[in-house]
Structures are given as C-alpha cells and as structure tokens.
Chains A and B, each alone.
Chain A
C-alpha cells in the first residue's frame, strides 16, 4: 500500500503526519521523504544511516574534433541545454533533462555521455521503519529526476509512506503518482484552503483517492470544513493547535513522542486506509 502525504501550502504538517503514521504502524513500513529540496523527516526519525549513494543524470559532452556544427542536437533540445553558434558548441548541464535525444540525433557521434550530480540518496533504519530520502544538490534546479530515483527504492510489498514537497507542480506529481491514496494535510486558514483546492484538483486529474487531515484545526475559519463537506472529501483527522506539539516539533520530536495517546488515532487511520476497497 502506497500512501502519499501532500498539502499544497507548505508548513502545514505533512512531515509530522508522515512520521506519526509510520511510527504508529505495527507492520514493517518504508518512509520515503520525497521533499528532496528541503527534506526534514530524518530530523524526527534520527535513523541509523546504512547507505549513501550519489545520483547522477546523464548529460552530453562534446567531442569537438568530430562535431560538424550541424545543429541537429540544438534543434532537437527543448531545454536550451545545447547551443551552436557558428563553429562554437556549448552545453548547459543545469538545463539538461537527460532525455537522451541529442545522442540519438548526432550523426557524427560527437556527443559522448557525461554525468551531472543530481544529489544524494541516503537510507537507514529507525526501529522498524526503513527510511530513505533524497537531498537535491544545491544549485540543481530539477528535483523530479531525484524523486524518481528515491521512489525506485520502494518495496511495494510493504506499507510505503511518501512525504511530498509542498505545492502542486511537477515535484509533487512525481511524488504522488502511483499512490493508492493521498492524505492532504492542511490548516483551516484562507491560504491553506486556497492551496488545498489546487492540490485536490491535481489529485482529481491523477485520479488518486484522497482525504484530509486538518492540522491546527482550531485556528482560522469554518470554510475549509464546508468545502470538504461540499466536495464529499473525507475529513480523516483533526489535530488541534497545541503548544506541546509545536515545541516538540521545534526540538525534532515527533507528535507520537510528545503525545503518545495520538498513536491510537493514527492506528485507526491506518485501519481506515486498510479497509478501503482497493487498499
């Protein structure tokens, strides 16, 4: 079962929910932090690291002696990663999406494969949780290829929890795609609601069943609840604003460590997810 945790708006509690759910499950679980730009789940799980791997993307390097400056490569490249100006050819690795097209069109075989670092993937264990996260290399704009690499390490026989980045664009889509269910975590404020609606429309497009956890459920307004009712989206859980939770979070302590009584609520949530027809 693959459960992704997403939100639209940032800072609503995705990681807190992902970690709390993982800590509440009785069976073995994988937690994959797919927020490779700003990964935080490890702060709460403090895993014992077992493996670190650097991940690369394939990019072209020009063998100028063979290049005829025919521009087939630069004409094909949609990402402006290759530029041919007269008898000069330049490549821009940070623009490259590693589609491999330039190698295929180059008749004189003047392009050879080189690599650029996308980031690192680290794996470790925290109790019965198998933890994996990616850390995007600073300055690398594209996170989806690294997220894809993180997700290749999924063990679909188990519970897999995917902690998504905020927003609704390609890194989020890359994370939640293929999930059996997405839990959207939001707060009942105007910003939270606006971004929730965007996240919901993305999930509708992907046809991923979803429900909502309201965090800091006692701030803001009723509007979010009214929206959920009108859309028929299940409200899975409400977590009130509690200074103890906020302070624990600040220190890197999970919700379950601070208030163990919440474990039962997350176990009930897991039961609900298990009982789903396709679950």
Chain B
C-alpha cells in the first residue's frame, strides 16, 4: 500500500478561498479523506450537505468551578490564579479560566471542582466525494488545537481502513495553535493567497511557519486578476525564495454561486474555472508529493 499523503491547505489571511478550493479539489481528486480543521468556523460541509454517520462529543480541557458550600472566601485561589478568572464574589469566569488547575490544587478546603467540559462535537460524514471528518467547536471554547489533532487522527484511521492514499485538510486562518495542529505531520502545504498587500504580508507569515516545521509549500494566488501587479509581486517573491508556484486563479462569481447552491466549482463550471482545478492538482502532486 502506498503511504498516505496529507495535504494541508492554509492561507494566513482569512477569506482567500481555502474552503472553496478544497471543495473544488475534492470534486476532481479521487480516493481521499476530507478534513475540515477550521473547527471554530467550519464551512466545508456547506458545499457537500453531507450525511452524518458518526457524531461524538468533544471533551476539552477541564475548567474550575467553586463549590459555594465549601468555599470560605479565604482568597487563596484569587492569589494563585494568573488569569484573573475568579471574581471578588468567588465565581469562576469560564471565558477567562485557562483550565490550569492551580486554584484546585491550592484551595485549602477542596472547594474547587475541576471537570472536563464538552467543548464541541466532531463528525464523520459521507459526501458525494468521499468521507469528510469535521467538527464544531462550541462558541467561544478553547482547545481548538486538541480538536484538530483528534479529527486528523480519525481521518488517518479512516484513510487506512479504506485504503485511500490522500488526506485533504482544509486549514484554519492565522498561524497559531489550530494551524500548527493542522500542519504538523503533513507532507505538504498548499497556500492560498490573494493579490493584496494584506495577502502578501500574511503569506510571508504562513511561509515562515511552514519553513519552521520544514514542510514544503506551494503558493496559489486566488482572484489574481483583481490586482495583477501584486500577483506578479507574489510570484516574484516565491521565485526569489525558491517556493513552489502553483499558479493563479481568476476572480469568478461562480465561486459564490457554488457556495449558494451547496456545490463545488468543477460541478458548476466544468469548462470554466473548474477546468483549472486538475491543473493545480497536477502541480501539487509534482511539487509536493513526487519530490
């Protein structure tokens, strides 16, 4: 069996078109498991209207809760808490509690409970383009990195069980915790950017991150015709830094239309924008997987 390859689609800046591109790739690339790692704002499922097969609660980190019947208001917990999570009237602010357990350990009266909280849900679903592992972090919850690791683990199990050689990961924006969890252990990253100064700025940040973890990356400029000069500058930058170039896609209203219809670009526009997607995939395979 061929080793399973994992491709992570990232961007740094949000809204450059990661999810639409992953949806489009899903429509043209066979035998893969899809994973939506943007767990706090997951949108990939909207393109597929999938059938949920497995649904599980996600237990995140623990949170402190003061038991009023045992609390003597001695103030020790407020002293040791570094996150100002305990109010003057001895209530834990759940959005400030980091789940470190220090107050639990140092309360002389055992008056702080500490139990895991349900932070979200994860799903294994079936789509018309193969299995999708996705999740939904509860509003305002923490531990997105942990949830990302969990669903990537499930995707790997699924790929092994089905003999699929590819895992296609739709990553979150930014460069922080859930991005790192989405990226580590991947065989390559496809970075989707846009031809704006913001896009270029954040592209450099995400390339620093892929470089930090020594994961090869290729760059695609989406909506390139909205500003060809900056698209040229990005291509020049990639050339200079010897970063793989995956090409350009034009701005096309069909992307929004596909979203509205819950379909993917190649399904809606097989001769138009959709015809570009297999070409991108070929470059990704050549530059990231056949090295």
Contact = CB atoms under 8 A, between A and B. Distances in A.
A168 B40 contact: yes
The 7 closest A-B pairs by CB, nearest first: A10-B14, A11-B15, A99-B100, A37-B174, A101-B102, A141-B177, A250-B227
Interface stretch (A153-161, A193-201, A258-266): A193-201
Interface stretch (B67-75, B121-129, B190-198, B267-275): B190-198
Interface stretch (B27-35, B155-163, B254-262): B254-262
Nearest to B11: A10
Interface residues of A, number: 59
Given A202-B139, A250-B196, A101 B41 contact: no
A233 interface: no
Contacts of B194: 11, 250
- SS of B interface (majority): loop
A250 B226 contact: yes
A2 B61 CA distance: 30
Contact of B202 (A38, A191, A198, A201): A38
A250 B197 contact: yes
Interface string A221-264: 10000000000000000000001001101111000000000000
A215 B172 CA distance: 21
Contact of B198 (A40, A78, A79, A141): A40
Interface of B: 11-16, 19, 38-41, 43, 46, 61-62, 80, 82-83, 95-96, 98-102, 105-106, 137, 139-142, 144-145, 172-181, 194-198, 201-202, 205, 208-209, 212-213, 226-227, 230, 253, 256, 259-260, 262
A8 interface: yes
A138 B205 CA distance: 7
Contacts of A169: 39-40, 137, 140-142, 144, 178
Nearest to A253: B197
A30 B260 CA distance: 38
B172 A221 contact: no
Contacts of B145: 141
A105 to B, nearest CB: 7
Interface string A165-181: 11111111100010000
Contact of B253 (A206, A219, A246): A219
22 contacts: A8-B41, A10-B15, A11-B173, A11-B194, A35-B174, A37-B174, A38-B202, A40-B198, A100-B82, A100-B102, A138-B175, A143-B176, A166-B15, A166-B174, A167-B174, A168-B41, A189-B259, A190-B46, A191-B259, A250-B197, A250-B226, A252-B198
B197 A78 contact: no
B41 A189 contact: no
Nearest to A191: B43
A89 B198 CA distance: 43
Contacts of B99: 78
A63 B100 CA distance: 23
A15 B198 contact: yes
A139 B212 contact: yes
A251 B197 CA distance: 6
Contact of A99 (B98, B180, B208): B98
A38 B13 contact: yes
Contacts of A165: 173-174
Contact of B201 (A43, A139, A189): A43
A165 B99 CA distance: 22
